[in-house]
Amino acid sequence: MTTQPPILLPLTLTAALFTGGAVLASWAQPLDAAPMASSDPDGTESPEGAASDDATGTPGIVPSEAAAASPDAPRSSEGRAPAPAPPAGLTVHLDGVQDRGGKLVVIVFADEAAFAAYDVDRAVAYEEVAAKAGRTTLRMPWLRAGSFAVSVWHDANGNRALDMKGEWPTEGYGTSGRVGKWDTPAWSAAAVPPGEVAVRVHYP
Amino acid sequence: MDWLFTPIAPHALEQLEAWIGDTFFVLAFAFLAVELLVYALRRRFSGALAADVVTNYLTLGAFMVITYVALGGVYLTGFVALEPLGWLDIPVNAATVVICVVLADLAYYWEHRFAHRVGLAWATHSVHHSSPFFNISVAYRFGPLDGLLPFAFHAPLVLLGFDPVVVFFSEMFVQVVQTALHTELIRRLPAPIEAIFNTPSHHRVHHGSNRAYLDTNYGGIFIVWDRLFGTFAPEEEPVVYGLTKPLEAGNPVWAFLHGYVRLARRALAMPRLRDGVRALFSAPGWAPTPTQES
């Protein structure tokens, strides 16, 4: 056995490496998030909902409604130059999320019947992420081929249900291809190819 | 460089983790076939080797039952419970996964060193070292409670703010790289690789019962931890695999449980109770009289 240095020194070094690595990793944010990071490093302490709703857009990002309104451009190709090659799979940007706590539930359908029936068992993706004010981006690299309709709702109170009042939700909701708050897009409008899609979350 | 910081859905990472683990398990079988063929050609194949391979996979089966039934729940709920306590809010993307893999490798170094130097932990880890052979099936030879230690040593990463899914992925990745090192077929890799990374050569030394090889080369992916913390030994003399005190019988049940039985016998044989208790927490060679060798 080789001679071992006193154990405290390596353990201290290990603790330092752990901490340093974690701090380094916490800075590894997507470039999109950088403008927000100037005032708010981890996006958790955003001001009240309404204000942050408008503050989400970094300059040059087309809101989902504008992108979806033009039938030729269902994918929101952002006006950033030079445009990097889009990553494989589906990348979902959730815009306009308000600071109401709880989780965002994102469900992706790959066929019309499942989408029309809102059959979660036949969905190709089901993701829950902590709801943060502003833009949240989810990558689903396994969704490479086909058309996808993205549905999202904001389970602010954590009861695992989209709360309704009569026919309309009382929590945030959104769908790809949705033109406005009151629109209920059909499959043909909601389906997008792999790439990037921006989905706005509407609040009643 | 955008891809480096593009957020990855944790779900996707889970799927990738499962895919890598499963694929590697199948590839390991193919590689084992090649190894056994080479042993046969070199006339080193024996009934004992075949039986040992079977024992390796039997211990894997028993380990998986214990881990999934008893420990898996502790692990999952434990990490998820620790997640809100995380100090930083570390995003999930390629860059942070790479950083987490490096830190998980460092965590693995200490986990592994602990497993060799603390009686109760060695009792389960010694199963892995009880094979007198060295082929890829030995990588799948596990002790009953091998699933317990990784939780304790990787929990700090969750507490620092890494997503539990990323920590799980990193643990698995380190494990898979380690698995690939269990072979005699690869003699030496190019010097720069041997200097930085753990290699089959370094890991053969780790499995050696030779005096000079005991308690060395704990690293997972990187060997730099061993060089840094003074536990490195290069492969020089031929390696004699296995325990300093080999298993008395080749039967799989004994192989799986021998560590605890031997530890209990050793502890009970101590004349004083407090020495028996100390034996549970001390290095395997520990003895109350300071003149004995360790």
Lowest mean pLDDT of A21-30, A93-102, B125-134, name the range: A21-30
Residue A87 CA to residue B3 CA, distance in Å, equals 7
Residue B76 CA to residue B15 CA, distance in Å, equals 16
Residue B160 CA to residue B87 CA, distance in Å, equals 5
Count of domains forming chain A? 2
> Residue A193 in 3-state DSSP?
coil
Q: Which of A129, A132, A86 is nearest to B165 (CA)?
A: A129
Contacting residues of B for A21, CB less than 8 Å apart: 99-100, 102-103
The pLDDT score that the predictor gives to residue A32 is 47
* Residue range A98-122: mean pLDDT, rounded: 90
Q: What is the pTM of this model?
A: 0.66
Q: Do A56 and A24 reside in the same domain of the chain? A: no
* Residue range B31-49: mean pLDDT, rounded: 91
Nearby residues of B31 by Cβ (< 8 Å), 6 or more positions away: B136, B183
* Residue range B211-221: mean pLDDT, rounded: 93
Give the tokens for residue A167. 């026919």
Contacting residues of B for A43, CB less than 8 Å apart: 89
* Residue range B111-130: mean pLDDT, rounded: 93
- The predicted complex's ipTM stands at 0.76
- For residue B175, how many other CB atoms are within 10 A of its CB? 17
Residue A87 in contact with partner chain B when CB distance is under 8 A: yes
Out of B10, B89, B216, the one facing A2 most closely (by C-beta) is: B216
Residue A24 in contact with partner chain B when CB distance is under 8 A: yes
What is the span of the domain harbouring residue B63?
2-281
Alpha carbon of A166: minimum distance to chain B alpha carbons (Å): 33
Quote the DSSP letter at residue B222: B
* Most A-contacting residue of B160, B162, B293 (CB-CB within 10 A), to test interface: B160
At residue A29's C-alpha, the angle toward residues A27 and A35, to 5°, is 100
Q: Do A20 and A81 reside in the same domain of the chain? A: no
Contacting residues of A for B2, CB less than 8 Å apart: 30-31, 84
Q: Given an 8 Å threshold on Cβ–Cβ distance, is B3 in contact with A87?
A: yes
The pLDDT score that the predictor gives to residue A23 is 87
Count of domains forming chain B? 1
Q: Report chain A's mean pLDDT, rounded to a whole number.
A: 73
Residue B10 CA to residue A119 CA, distance in Å, equals 22
Q: Given an 8 Å threshold on Cβ–Cβ distance, is B8 in contact with A19?
A: no
Contacting residues of A for B156, CB less than 8 Å apart: 18
Q: Do A20 and A117 reside in the same domain of the chain? A: no
Q: Do A34 and A53 reside in the same domain of the chain? A: no
Give the tokens for residue B46. 């024996």
More confident residue, B117 or A86: B117
- For residue A137, how many other CB atoms are within 10 A of its CB? 21
Residue B53: exposure state from Cβ atoms within 10 A (0-12, 13-18, ≥19): buried
Residue A118 CA to residue A37 CA, distance in Å, equals 36
> Is A53 a residue whose pLDDT tops 90?
no
Q: Do A5 and A32 reside in the same domain of the chain? A: yes
pLDDT in tens, B151-175: 889 999 999 999 888 999 999 999 9
CB-defined contacts A:B, below 8 A = 109
Q: Tell me the pLDDT band of A69, cut-offs 50, 70 and 90.
A: very low
Residue B216 CA to residue B219 CA, distance in Å, equals 9
The reply to whether B291 falls in a domain is: no
The pLDDT score that the predictor gives to residue B68 is 84
Q: Given an 8 Å threshold on Cβ–Cβ distance, is A139 in contact with B233?
A: no
Contact criterion met (CB below 8 Å) for A183 and A79: no
The reply to whether B63 falls in a domain is: yes
Out of B5, B8, B230, the one facing A29 most closely (by C-beta) is: B5
What is the span of the domain harbouring residue A15?
1-42
Residue A88 CA to residue B117 CA, distance in Å, equals 46
Q: Given an 8 Å threshold on Cβ–Cβ distance, is B7 in contact with A137?
A: yes
Q: Which of B219, B28, B197, B193 is nearest to B111 (CA)?
A: B219
Q: How far apart are the first and last CA of chain B?
A: 52
* Residue range A17-24: mean pLDDT, rounded: 88
Supply the DSSP string of B115-135, one letter for each residue.
HHHSHHHHHHHHHHHT-SS-S
Out of B89, B93, B96, the one facing A44 most closely (by C-beta) is: B89
Q: Given an 8 Å threshold on Cβ–Cβ distance, is B91 in contact with A28?
A: yes
Q: In the block, which residue shows the tokens 């009686």?
A: B119
The reply to whether B263 falls in a domain is: yes
Residue A85 CA to residue B2 CA, distance in Å, equals 9
What pairs with residue A107 in β-bridges? A126, A151
Which contiguous run of DSSP H or E holds residue A69? helix A64-69
Q: Do A84 and A163 reside in the same domain of the chain? A: yes
Q: Do A73 and A170 reside in the same domain of the chain? A: yes
Supply the DSSP string of A74-108, one letter for each residue.
-S-----SSPPPPPSSEEEEEEEE-S--SEEEEEE
pLDDT in tens, B235-263: 999 999 998 888 877 788 999 999 999 99
Out of A1, A29, A139, the one facing B214 most closely (by C-beta) is: A1
Quote the DSSP letter at residue B174: H
The pLDDT score that the predictor gives to residue B56 is 93
Q: Do A32 and A119 reside in the same domain of the chain? A: no
Q: Given an 8 Å threshold on Cβ–Cβ distance, is A2 in contact with B214?
A: no
Contact criterion met (CB below 8 Å) for B89 and A42: yes
- For residue B106, how many other CB atoms are within 10 A of its CB? 25
The reply to whether B96 falls in a domain is: yes
Contacting residues of A for B161, CB less than 8 Å apart: 22, 25-26
Residue A83 in contact with partner chain B when CB distance is under 8 A: no
Residue B147 CA to residue B229 CA, distance in Å, equals 25
Q: In the block, which residue shows the tokens 């190819």?
A: A193
pLDDT in tens, B46-62: 888 999 999 999 999 99
* Most B-contacting residue of A11, A12, A44, A138 (CB-CB within 10 A), to test interface: A138
The pLDDT score that the predictor gives to residue A101 is 87
Contact criterion met (CB below 8 Å) for B159 and B107: no
Residue B194: exposure state from Cβ atoms within 10 A (0-12, 13-18, ≥19): middle
Handedness of CA A191, A197, A198, A204 (dihedral sign): positive
